[in-house]
Amino acid sequence: REEDTEWTDRAVALYHAEQARILAPKERRKGLRRICEGVEAESNYMVKLAHATIGRLVKGGRTLAESNAAKGWLLEEEVEVVIGYALDIAARGFPLSHHRLKECVDDICRARLGDEFPGDGVGINWTQRFCKKYSDRLQTCW
């Protein structure tokens, strides 16, 4: 995914550069499709860039990853705090259970969101999804 993001960012930058370029007489600008095709040809592996997606990003839109991150309960900084806490507690010999992890996250979200945060806290399977998403960093303590 990070490599795809790099190619997407490259296509957006090339489009901006193409739009800023001064044209010679009777010369035409490259469109999004041609720029996407050029970036796809540059890559050493199969990458498919949707010109509509690049067009949305050029206009200031967000990527799917950015959109999904904005919908999550925790901010990036809070995720780092939770992971650091889990690793710290595990280093002391008391790894977090899913129940304790849920309590920790509920407290953080309640402090930031107040009454907007549901009384039940994060969902039933939230901790499993969190541990799976950050398994590369949490596997030593889980």
For 18-71, how does the pLDDT look when each residue is reduced to its tens digit (9 = 90+)?
Answer: 999 998 899 899 999 999 989 888 887 777 888 898 999 999 998 888 888 888
**Per the confidence metrics, is the pTM higher than 0.85?**
no
In this predicted structure, what is the pLDDT of residue 127?
A: 93
For residues 122 and 76, give the distance between their C-alpha atoms in angstroms, rounded to a whole number: 16
* Token pair in block for residue 95: 């790894």
In this predicted structure, what is the pLDDT of residue 124?
A: 86
Give the Å distances, CA to CA, from 120 to 79, 89, 131. Answer: 20, 25, 20
Helix (H, G, I), strand (E, B) or coil at 33: helix
* pLDDT tens, residue by residue, 80-137: 999 999 999 999 998 889 999 999 999 999 999 999 999 999 988 999 999 999 999 8
Closest among 80, 102, 74, 101 to 90, alpha carbons compared: 101
The band of 5, judged by pLDDT with boundaries at 50, 70 and 90, is confident
